[in-house]
Structure 1
Amino acid sequence: MTHTVGTASPVLTPPPEPPPVRKGPPHTPPPGAALIGGGLAAAGAALLTGVLAAGTLRDVLDRMAGVIALVALSVAVVLGLATALRGLLPRPVRAHAQRLHRAAGAVGIGALLTHIGVKVAGGRVDAGAAALGWGSGDALVGLGTLACHLFLLALATGIWRGTFARRRWIRPFRALHGASYAAWAAALAHGLTAGRPPAPWVVAAYMTSAAAVTATLILRWTRCRT
């Protein structure tokens, strides 16, 4: 009588589950040629509006375009900070804030270009000084040009966010897109000190924007540390 020695079947362990993918607001898809062309056309139209405006429209833009630009870009900074509040705001709210962040940024850049155009056309600043940031002899005007350059850098990195906001490029992306903070501070100093003294309601609008940006930045910083 023979006995067969049975072999124990190996115990199959399930493969480890992949780490959960952290979901956040949707990235901006890479723009196509039509979108880039449309954006450049809109930017050119905003600049030409300031250059060619006359009469009452020119007076209104001379007083208001810079204010609209700074307030809209302050809103964009606040909404951009809000998109990172993962533990506080639900994902649908943050996704909606991301869309509003882009819209406010577009409005702010358009108003900023109109502001530059109307100041150059009115002889308040030379075109070369407005574009390069030096040659005007006024450091406060140079602050405005610096703010414009940094906001355009933030805009460009935001448009190609889906390309750069990856693990390999996330730190350079954050540094470049975070230039909007320095741009906003330079724009605030420029708006309060350059040119004619601002009206009280303009100062109130700037201070409200500053308080909102500062409060949101502190909230994000404290949430990231906990």
Structure 2
Amino acid sequence: MTAGLAGVGLLLAVGVLAGGPLQAFLDRMAGVFALVALSCSVMLGLATVFRDVLTPARRQLAQQAHRAAAVAGVGFLLIHIGVKVGADRVTAVQAALGFGFGSGSLLVDLGTLAAQLFVLALITGLWRGVFATRRWIRPFRVLHGLAYAGWAAGLVHGLGAGRTPALWVVVAYGACAAATAAALVHRWTRTRTGTRTGPRPQPGGRQPH
């Protein structure tokens, strides 16, 4: 916990204290890197449930990549927030709390909401072992699933807040949105039809290869 809080403080400090060309670069790109990484995390998280597509070994790799992308995305997100606070675009209170605290912009507040939901999803993911019981699995899925709402809010924030995005940014966001929507539809149709996304576990909890 201490190491995690120290990491959060360091990333925020990088954003707040950055100056000159570094600040200009981070001001322009940290938010883009954050949203692309978090979009990859969302898509990889969806991919891990498709046992009919991925072997157990590949699912494990997808899970590891999902977690790595989430950590990288939240890291860039903290730098993005630090840069905006350091440049006096928003106050620390506005960046942390959002709605009703004087930002005056719905698009900025959506960015704050996205950050809150992604941090919550990351925390529940890191503490997944705590939820690994029948009693807590549903609350875990709800809390961790808030990343989808955070991703949607972040996408709107990224496209609408601040400067007009470059064409490649719009294309990248659009590709992420299309891939995520396709994965969600695939998962939903599997659930609706009662089709399992993979073979039934073997006795003793082992999965066939």
TM-score, structure 2 as length reference: 0.88
Per-residue CA deviation, residues 154-203 of structure 1 (Å, 9 max, x unaligned), is 01110111111321111111000000000000000000001111111111
The alpha-carbon deviation at position 212 of structure 1 amounts to 1.6
Matched residue type, 2:57: P
Q: Which moved more, 1:81-90 or 1:55-64?
A: 81-90
CA distance in 1, matches of 2:47, 2:9: 30
Per-residue CA deviation, residues 32-90 of structure 1 (Å, 9 max, x unaligned), is xxxx2222222211111100101110000000000000000000001111111122211
CA distance in 2, matches of 1:151, 1:221: 22
Alpha carbons 1:128, 1:135 under 8 Å: kept: no
The alpha-carbon deviation at position 109 of structure 1 amounts to 0.2
Aligned length: 191
The alpha-carbon deviation at position 223 of structure 1 amounts to 2.6
The alpha-carbon deviation at position 128 of structure 1 amounts to 1.2
Report the equivalent of 1:29: none
TM-score, structure 1 as length reference: 0.82
Matched residue type, 1:107: A
Alpha carbons 1:147, 1:183 under 8 Å: kept: yes
Question: Is 1:58 paired with 2:23?
Answer: yes
Matched residue type, 1:67: V
SS at 1:85's partner residue?
Answer: coil
2:137 to 160, 166, 170: 170
Report the equivalent of 1:152: 119
Question: Is 1:200 paired with 2:167?
Answer: yes
RMSD, matched Cα? 1.0
CA distance in 2, matches of 1:221, 1:85: 12
Alpha carbons 1:120, 1:130 under 8 Å: kept: yes
CA distance in 2, matches of 1:63, 1:165: 40
The alpha-carbon deviation at position 143 of structure 1 amounts to 0.3
CA distance in 2, matches of 1:156, 1:127: 21
Q: Which runs of 5+ in 2 are unaligned?
A: 196-209
The alpha-carbon deviation at position 135 of structure 1 amounts to 1.3
CA distance in 2, matches of 1:48, 1:68: 18
Report the equivalent of 2:80: 115
Report the equivalent of 2:2: 37
